[in-house]
Amino acid sequence: MDLYEHQARQLFAEHGIPVPRAEVTDSAREARVIARRLGGRVVVKAQVRTGGRGRAGGVRLAEDPAAAERTARRILGMEIGGHPVRSVMLARPVDIESEFYVSYVLDRAAGRFLAIACAEGGTEIEEVAAARPEAVARIPVDPAEGVTPAKAAEIVRAAGLPPRTADILIRLWQVLTREDALLVEVNPLVRTTGGRIVALDGKVTLDGNARFRQARWGEREDPHTHPLEAAAAARGIDYVKLDGEVGVIGNGAGLVMATLDVVAGCGARPANFLDIGGGASARVMSDGLSVVLSDPGVRSVLVNVFGGITACDTVADGIVRALDTVRPRKPLVVRLDGNNAARGRAVLGDRAHPLVRQAATMDEAARLAVRLANAT
């Protein structure tokens, strides 16, 4: 269950993480009133559950209340990544000295959380990871231990963040654990010219299984999502549409995120994030592949699975089932490792589908998937 940015910022504020004052509206006329209340000069931001708002023109600076009304009218009704903009958030601008990236994400495959941090915020973290992977720190977090002051200091040192961000890291962990979240992200976390550490943007994904404890965000997802995301949600699949050409399927959020980074590092853009989970059945694998192959922008698909609870032969059975029902016209690259990997590879080998290629490692699979995508 993804929250809107203004909802994520509300959670941050409740847990003591500084955020600029802001208000939300679905009316361009009211945007003028809000801007006047906030001091005149404001940032107008589209409220949609997807990334890429800035590049799409959904984040703009308005110098005065009249400009805020004009800007809000221009943004309201836009479509960003298949998501219609039905509300905007107006926030006080901040004088920025430095920008950083921090997040926590559930790594199902490893049975723990992963802290991801970088001293370069404000841009897509995948781009930084592709250009300079050493700049992105990935620190495992034991759920039983959590983010203690010592762990926060470790993350700060690894990423080269200012020491004062350690307190934010501890509070961000509280958001994750106390609010039933699977992902919390701040990009950018900034140091202002006055020396304050402030969260300018936020993304929070809540565990759908805890919906009964999170009733204040609504009992159902916003129906105005990307059609493929809606189709995936109807099948119980964790899927996020991205603007790329290589479809990505994996088991475990950490493994999927790593796969996105590797694809980007090979010179292509991931088309989606799809996590089949730690105990996925053949049906889930088949349904996930069907959703990814339904994306007209996908030119190849990379399936990257490390067998644990999910055995590799089960994944292979799901792929074979999808091949018989979906009838793909795009190449698939499959990397299977771990539990029953040899058996899974044999299942795919026996099927001998002309569009399915197997690879031994994640890097090899990503290079092949990118090469096939560029060839189509």
Q: Which residues are known to be catalytic?
A: 101, 185
- The DSSP code for 3 is P
**Sheet-wide strand order for 42-46:** 22-25, 88-91, 42-46, 59-62
Instruction: Round to whole Å and give the CA distance between 224 and 276.
Output: 23
Residue written as token pair 């590092």: 265
Q: Is the dihedral of CA 92, 97, 98, 104 positive or negative?
A: negative
* b/e burial code for range 130-158 (CB count within 10 A of at least 16 → b): beeeebbbbbebeeeeebeeebbebbbee
Contact in structure between 373 and 246 (CB atoms under 8 Å): yes
Q: Crossing angle, helix 165-178 and helix 5-14, to 10 degrees?
A: 110
Residue written as token pair 């350690």: 166
